[in-house]
Structure 1
Amino acid sequence: MEDKELNLVDHLDELRNRLIISAVAFIIFFGVGFFYVKEIYNFFVRDLDVKLIVLGPSDIVWIYFMLATIIAIAGTIPVLATQIWLFVKPALRPIERKISLSYIPALFILFIVGLAFGYFVIFPTVLNFLVELSGDMLVTNFTAEKYFKFIMNMTIPFGVLFELPVVVMFLTSLGIINPYVLVKVRKYAYFILIVISVIISPPDFMSDILVTIPLLVLYEISVNLSKFVYRRKLKKEKEWQEQYGDMEEEIDEEISR
């Protein structure tokens, strides 16, 4: 009993250390983002025909923190993924370690691709639609806070959700889920993704559709990738069993004696 308690304490200590490393990485990337916030700001407002306004001094500080946070999140993702992999590594077989390690760079790449998709495809489409909707009735002015909140709503969720295929592949390779489960819960997953789309998109029907369709496509891609990983996993396990199965049986017999 004491050995089990000590083992649990060791695992909790290791988990805490992994989280501390991830938190330190976040702070470092936050500092880098804060230092280059002017360049980041100029990138986001380069195509605007109007000057952004602020309604108070606190809005300026909020913009600095928000832009730095975006950089910190993007930079911390591969660090956090590596720490998670190192934490679960002892419980994985060599073949599982090799496969799961390859997913770490994919997480970062897909996050950036999701941000790019949200910013270069969804964001301008929705923004132009909403601006044209006002026509000549209204004078269009943007506060910096509202503008950057709008950008975050159109990019960060896509950055996170674009990682769905890699997460599904990773969990499939560990045997936690399989494609048959994903197919079985498809209608529930669709409902959840539609709810997410409505929450993160502006309150108009066009925006909801533009956000919903990519998320549903992502889910279907995830299902097909899960099928691919699952078949590959079964094949690898069969090869492993053929190569090392007899050896494991001999070891078990020796232990039982």
Structure 2
Amino acid sequence: MAKQNKKTPDEMSFLDHLEELRWHLIRSVVAVVIIGSGAFLMKNFIFDTVIFGPSRMDFPTYRLFCDIATWMGFESDFCADKLPFSIQSRQMGAQFSMHIWTSIWAGFILGFPYILYEIWKFISPGLYEKERQNSRGFILIASLLFFSGVLFGYYVVAPLSINFLGTYQVSELILNEFDIDSYIGTVRTAVIACGVLFELPIIIFFLTKVGIVTPEILKKYRKIALVVVLILSAVITPPDVTSQIIVAVPVIILYQVSIYISGFVLRKEAKKEQKLRKKG
């Protein structure tokens, strides 16, 4: 009976839409909690293998940079036996609290496709049938971009940040002993920030759809966008030029791809309008 009485999007009031949004958010949170609970039970793998992986010199990124340096005949800090810092917990409940929050973030990252699915279920009723058909790959493409960013953040940005900050000393008299919250925060920021940054083409796609962005605007403000990208790169990476360039390059490429996507969307919209005019 409930399904038969379900209102169409046109019949729903503002409060009805809010109620619908509330249930989508609740289901998303439940999914994050369920996946996070699984991550909570996999404590050894999540922390020893994943989180603390970049703190050891056998991490794949360090080995790769070491091999490159050796092949080129250079000495490199990436070939060291271990990083000169230790990780400690200085508060009674810090480890337990970090275990919970890390599990929640793991639930968010792994549950991202389902969160997108709930978002899509909320906005899709307001779209035309043809728009829904043209956007069928939204969840898949957005998820692939997000996970690509997450992997880039984990295997490139995080280890470079940890290696630079972990070996940096203003004096040999000062020991690097980092709090667990500081270390995990560095890894989390690199991973989440890169995951979000890699969603740029999707964001531009929808902004073009609603008429806010055009290829001309993107080209006009390309230099400003480059400055913004460099600032964002400086925020999520250590203060060295190499790391910032490594982060900035893929984002600039994604920005250029976004220009082509914006142009593609506008061309499709123009063709659609021409067909409507011919029919009229």
- What TM-score bracket applies, with the shorter chain setting the length? 0.7 to 0.9
| Cα distance, 1:149 vs structure 2 | 1.4
Name the counterpart of 1:147. Answer: 183
Secondary structure of 2:13's partner?
Answer: helix
- Aligned residue number for residue 93 of structure 2: 58
2:224 is equivalent to residue 218 of structure 1 = no
* Gap change, CA 1:23 and 1:46, over 3 Å in 2: closer
2:136 corresponds in structure 1 to 101
Residue from 17, 23, 37 that aligns with 1:17: 23
**What is the correspondence of 1:1-257 to structure 2 with a 5 Å cutoff?**
7-44=13-50, 45-46=52-53, 48=56, 49=82, 52-134=87-169, 137=172, 139-173=175-209, 175-236=211-272, 238-239=274-275, 241=276, 246=279
Structure with the largest fraction of helix: 1
TM-score normalised to the size of structure 1? 0.78
What secondary structure, in the 3-state scheme, does the structure 2 residue paired with 1:198 have?
A: helix
Tell me the TM-score normalized by structure 2.
0.73
- Residue-by-residue CA offset, 1:154-193 (whole Å, 9 max, x unaligned): 2210011111112222443455533233223334433433
Q: Secondary structure at the match of 1:79?
A: helix
SS in 2 for 1:52: strand
Query: Cα 1:17–1:211, aligned 2, differ >3 Å: closer, same or farther?
Result: same
Cα RMSD between the aligned structures? 3.0
Query: Does the C-alpha gap of structure 1 residues 170 and 6 become closer, same or farther in structure 2, counting only changes over 3 Å?
Result: closer
Question: Contact 1:100–1:170 (CA<8 Å) still a contact in 2?
Answer: no
8 Å contact 2:153–2:194 — kept in the other structure? yes
* Deviation string, structure 1 residues 123-142 (Cα, Å, up to 9, x no partner): 22333334444499354444
2:135 aligned counterpart, secondary structure: helix
In structure 1, the residue corresponding to 2:260 is in which secondary structure?
helix
1:116 shift after superposition: 0.8
- Structure 1, unpaired ranges of 5+: 250-257
- CA 1:189–1:136: 2 relative to 1, 3 Å: closer
Q: In 1, distance between residues paired with 2:266 and 2:41?
A: 45
**1:196 shift after superposition:** 2.5
Residue 25 of structure 2 aligns with an amino acid whose one-letter code is: L
Identity of aligned residues (%): 32
Deviations 1:187-241 (A, max 9, x none): 44334333323333334444444433333332222222222333244335545x3
The secondary structure found in structure 2 opposite 1:63 is helix
